[in-house]
Amino acid sequence: MGNGHRKKPFSGKQKKKQLQAKREKNLSIKEEDSDEEIEADKHVVRKHADERKYAENGESLLKKEQFNNKDDNITLPSTQKLLGSSKSRLHSVFEKSSPREIRAQRKASMKAFTRLPSTALEVSVNDIYTTVIDFPKRPSWHYGMTKEELESNEEHYFRQWLDDVYNKYPREELSFFEHNLDVWRQLWRVLEISDIILIVVDIRHPLLHFPPSLYNYVVKDMKRKMVLVFNKVDLVAEHTVYSWTKYFEEQFPEISIVEFSCYPRDNRFVDDTSTAFLQKRTKRPKKRRYQALGIKELLLACKNTNLVKQDVEVNWTELIEQYNRNATVCDNLDDITEEEVEKIDAIQEESSSDVESLDAEENIKQIENQLKVVNINNIETSPHKTLITIGLVGHPNVGKSSLINSIFGKVVVSTSRTPGHTNHFQTIHLSKNIRLCDSPGLVFPSLLLKQLQILLGMYPIAQVQEPYSSIQYMAERIPLESILKLKTLENNEWSAWNICEAFAIKQKYYTKASRPDVYRAANAILRLVNDGRILLSFKPPEFFTSLKYLIAQKNEIDLQIKVESKKMGINTKKTDKKEIFEELNSQSKQQLGGYFELLINYNDDKN
């Protein structure tokens, strides 16, 4: 005790000086980093290229190596993650941004943004996919190969494919895409055994979920039947769905298109671009009445592919009738208020857990008999001779598993809002000789912005390192501050950071230091976007700048009114279309859709 040194008193003033000196030191380091950004980028590219030289010697292709400058270190997946591990569940693997990139994006989010015109939401194939990056296909093989030889061949091919991608395209321009070989193996097997491929896309941004490389491979190379499923159509207006349908029919005439949703559409909303509509979306309950739309149309589209197999006979008419119980589900929401809708949802939400548990106990044996998780090492490598296999393929979080559950009217495959929840592809029989094959969500390589991928639900929000640039991308295109009803700033110059800070204060998100928890607020906003309560909906070309789609839909509705009027004996010579519409029965009105009201006032002279 006597030999020890007594601590010197350290005043609060001295502590404040110490912290200030530390801040100045960190600030000088950041300034040096910004001055050397170009050299740092070159250093990253050289290091990345050096890593790939280990592939031929059997070394790790993407071995984690510490760079001299830790701020520029890119977190790359290890070999175990890259090539998969049989001891653990199958997980998607993505490349992570460097700390320097994260700092730069965060700094940019603090600057005031400029609101873009509505045409910024218009996208086309040529705009999005200026360059189509091919995805890895299964390399050639033969039955004389052992399991070890087959896996080694696939691993070598996958390494070479990754080399080619990173050598051909700058790393900073590449999107998030799947780096785990085992996930790609799942896709290979699904494509091999399927007679009909269902590509499931989110209607809010269908073109961004539709890889042209997959379309070309399935339709042109494999010569397989393809059906495109517009899922979650309840989240957008009917005219948006119609416009996208017409656009895809023009661009990809070889495929059939089907609309689908697990929930009924609210026909009160006819314009999904108005601020009033977008504000009401935020009030939508998290859990809604589960009433699927489009089951009959989906099965009918599979029938209309005219698939013929010698040893398979399918009574599609009987099958469609059997699964048609959920076809007529659109409730008339015009006569009930928003409060009544929320009350119904609250009651059903309270009782849903008990009902689901009872259903699970009663049906668990039946589900186990129907559902089969497929081992990718023991599976047929071509479509089954006595079965028709319908394979579901798509990005994470587009609703493939939910679609299967809707067809069966019960939970037969697990679902989650988290992207990548389905880990292995699994088959379940729809009838004696038809089976569905659900596959894991898989992100294809592209040059899409990573911020946009986060907004599309392709990347798990819990793993997002820097959410503010995604918030800015969205705020530049839709009035986010008005949708969230945030208090107006004095200078009215919003930035992504200010929006998150204001939302944190509104929601009472604070850190332990009693400061607004901006990061938590940003993540909460991203979850609202993924859930559809904040609507970011892209449109096809000319949606805002021409009357192309409006005229086409008007003509179709006019024709349908004429047909329905003739059936009911209504005088079709009437010039007042609204009067004719009022004379139709409620079923016909429901078929024509809520968008008719907007078309009534449309002036034919504008044609």
The answer to whether the predicted template modeling score (pTM) of the entire model surpasses 0.75 is no
Note the pLDDT tens digit of each residue in 41-94: 444 344 344 433 333 333 333 333 333 344 444 455 555 555 554 444 567 778
List, for residues 87-133, the tens digit of each pLDDT value. Answer: 445 677 787 778 888 888 889 999 999 999 999 999 999 889 989 99
Q: Domains in the chain and their CATH numbers?
A: 12-135+146-438 (3.40.50.300), 551-606 (no CATH)
Terminal alpha carbon distance of the chain: 97
CA distance 155 to 82: 9
Q: Which of 102-111, 499-508, 554-563, 577-586 has the lowest mean pLDDT?
A: 577-586
CA 363 – CA 410 distance, rounded (Å): 9
- Spatial contact of 99 and 37, defined as CB atoms under 8 Å apart: no
408-433 residue pLDDT tens: 776 766 554 444 444 455 788 888 88
- Cβ atoms of 231 and 399 within 8 Å: the answer is yes
From the list 231, 236, 341, 233, the residue with the least C-alpha distance to 285 is 341
| pLDDT number for residue 583 | 55
- Label residue 470 by pLDDT band (50, 70, 90): very high
Token output for 179: 């780096």
Structure tokens of 250? Answer: 């023009």
pLDDT at 140 over 70: yes
- Please, what is the Cα angle at 567 between 562 and 573, to 5 degrees? 40
pLDDT digits (tens, 9 = 90+) for 427-446: 888 888 888 888 888 999 99
Q: Which secondary structure element, helix H or strand E, spans residue 435, and what is its range?
A: strand 434-438
Q: How far apart are CA 600 and CA 100, in angstroms?
A: 55
Which pLDDT tens digit goes with each residue over 449-466?
A: 999 999 988 888 988 989
The pLDDT of residue 355 is: 30
pLDDT confidence of residue 39: 44
Q: Which of 133-137, 287-291, 332-336, 469-473 has the lowest mean pLDDT?
A: 332-336
- Percent of the chain whose predicted confidence (pLDDT) is above 90: 34
Residue 278 has what pLDDT?
74
Rounded mean pLDDT of the chain? 74
Question: By the 8 A CB rule, do 528 and 534 touch?
Answer: yes
3-state DSSP helix/strand/coil % of the chain, to nearest 5: 50, 5, 45
Q: Which amino acid is at 453?
A: Q
Q: How confident is the model at residue 210 (pLDDT cuts 50, 70, 90)?
A: very high
Residue 415, pLDDT score? 53
In this structure, what DSSP letter does residue 539 have? B
